[in-house]
Amino acid sequence: MKIRSQVSMVFHLDKCIGCHTCSIACKNIWTDRQGAEYMWWNNVETKPGVGFPTQWEDQEKYKGGWELKNGKPHLKLQNRVEALGNLFSNPALPTMDDYYEPWTYKYGDLFNSPLGDDQPTARPISRIDGKPIEIESGPNWDDDLGGSNIYAVNDPLLENMTDEEKQRLFSIEQLFYFYMPRICNHCLNAGCVAACPSGAIYKRAEDGIVLINQDKCRGWRMCVSACPYKKTYYNWSTGKSEKCILCYPRLETGQAPACFHSCVGRIRYLGVLLYDADQIEAAVKVSDEQLVQRQREMILDPFDPKVVAAAKESGIPDGVITAAQRSPVYRYVKEWELALPLHPEYRTLPMLFYVPPLLPVLSASQESGTQRVENDLFSSLENARVPVRYMSRMLAAGNDELVTKAYQKMIAVRIYKRAETVGDVTADEANAALAKVGMSAEEAEAIYRLTSLPNYQERFVIPPTGREGDIEEVHDPQQRKAETGFGRRQSPHRGL
């Protein structure tokens, strides 16, 4: 067992209000620069919708992530031999149209226009060439038309859904959408790391944050294609690629990343997970149906004395182990099984997990008058306004059972709290609901508290970080490849 620690995240989608404060906090700190105008290391999408860049989930078009060939994971983009042939013409890159042409406004015109009969206006101008432009798209373009069949119908996830399911999604009286904030997932089997011909991208030893060494980057942009989430970006001014750095300078001083810190809905949780690096290869070789379960199995119980001893042996400091024991991410992902990885079928083992949005499920069940435990837990999900299949394609590689189970637990918690606070459900009904999903009252209370009432310290359990000099790189790329079969760099930390 080779234990590593990873700073991981949970986003609770029920709580996101789509205010984009997170995106602006990130933009102000990191990407308000020449060449980075179009970059949104943090963006918030509207689902159903096409996202940013447009239809990023269509891997037939963008060739991101991994696929199994003869039972082994291969980059969908190309192998290394093909990569050499395509160095100068990568055909799977998003274009400016897929992102958008960044713009600003001629604010000066508001102040400097000569006196006249008309009100001066600030016309939009391109931030690339400074010429006037017609704005036709933007990073959150779905917002205005979110959920409608005018725009959202192009969502790649709708492919293969039945007419009846689509009808339910686009029924105009019940039009529904939810917000989907996205940042880099700091994956364990990152496509960007494996695809980089310069070896410029690496996973940081002490906490698993994926970074691009700007001195080594040669701007080949293979990472842009190979990341199925489109979370690396090419800076046209510097000629290098860039990506979310999880605000590591903030983490190193005990502060949450800016997008987490500023989140108005308090939807974001951050904490350490301990995992067994020896299981990475096996975890990405399984069938789609089993991917989430295998990823969960890799995550180790930080209270297990054997795990603690092995973690110490692997050089993980006591402070990080203690942080792992207090991790809200561990609770949501492993203990409660409520949070799921985004598109696990890309096989990058993303370490950002999402609690699926429940609200529309319940409101649909109420409209049909089903209030009792049996109906709320089971029938309501069959008639949910967002078909479970839509969510399972997004968060469970099509495994409906995992999403259903998470929803049932969340509904059971609601029934339990309703009995306590509203009183239209009896205590017996509430206990029956908990029993149906195998949950104790203590667990229901803990889920409720961490979801609804967590303070800053409960949402963000930031591990102590050591100085650069304390971290030894004990595996070179060849050694790591020999050990794991793939991946470029990952090393245990020492003596933090």
Distance (Å, whole) CA 300 – CA 141: 40
Of all helices (H) and strands (E), which one includes residue 3? strand 3-12
Interface positions, 241-300, toward ligand SF4 (CB under 6 A):
243, 263-265, 267
Report 195-224 residues binding ligand SF4 (CB under 6 A).
210
Q: How many CB atoms lie within 10 A of CB 419?
A: 18
**184 scored as a contact of ligand SF4 (CB under 6 A):** yes
Instruction: Write down the least CB distance from residue 157 to ligand SF4, Å.
Output: 18
* Amino acid sitting at position 184: C
Tallying the residues shown for the chain, one arrives at 496
Residue from 36, 83, 180, 190 binding ligand SF4 (CB under 6 A): 190
Chosen residue from 50, 92, 187, 245 binding ligand SF4 by CB under 6 A: 187
Least distance to ligand SF4, CB of residue 255, Å: 16
Binding status of residue 178 toward ligand SF4 by CB under 6 A: no
Distances (CA, A) of 436 to 376, 429, 441: 11, 10, 12
Residue 71 CB coordination number (10 Å)? 7
Does residue number 19 form part of the binding site for ligand SF4 (CB under 6 A)?
A: yes
Instruction: Determine how β-strand 240-243 pairs with β-strand 268-276.
Output: unpaired
- By the rule CB under 6 A, 94 interacts with ligand SF4: no
How far apart are CB 7 and ligand SF4 at their closest, in Å?
12
Question: Which single residue is written with the structure tokens 């299981």?
Answer: 279
Give min distance, CB of 335 to ligand SF4, in A: 23
CB of 210 to ligand SF4, least distance (A): 4
Q: In the set 54, 225, 232, 465, which binds ligand SF4 (CB under 6 A)?
A: 232
Closer to ligand SF4 at the Cβ: 231 or 436? Answer: 231
- Smallest distance from the beta carbon of 262 to ligand SF4, in angstroms? 6
Going from the C-alpha of 234 to that of each of 62, 129, 208, 467, the distances in angstroms are: 15, 18, 22, 29
- Transcribe 87-106 into DSSP letters: TT--TT---TTTS---EEE-
For 150, counting Cβ atoms within 10 Å of its Cβ (0-12 exposed, 13-18 middle, 19+ buried), the class is exposed
Among 3, 157, 192, 211, which residue sits at the site for ligand SF4 (rule: CB under 6 A)? 192
Residues 36-65 that bind ligand SF4 (CB under 6 A): 44
Q: In Å, what is the CA distance from 232 to each residue of 31, 42, 60, 223, 309?
A: 12, 11, 19, 6, 37
- Cβ(189)–Cβ(73) below 8 Å: yes
Structure tokens of 372?
């009792």
447 counts as binding ligand SF4 under rule CB under 6 A: no
Helix or strand run (H / E) with residue 381: helix 380-382
Kindly state whether residue 311 participates in binding ligand SF4, applying the rule CB under 6 A.
Answer: no
- Residue 77 interacts with ligand SF4 (CB under 6 A)? no
Does position 17 interact with ligand SF4 (CB under 6 A)? The reply is: yes
Q: Which is nearer to ligand SF4, 271 or 387 (CB)?
A: 271
Binding site residues, ligand SF4, CB under 6 A:
16-22, 44, 179, 181, 184-187, 190-192, 210, 227, 229, 231-232, 243, 263-265, 267, 348
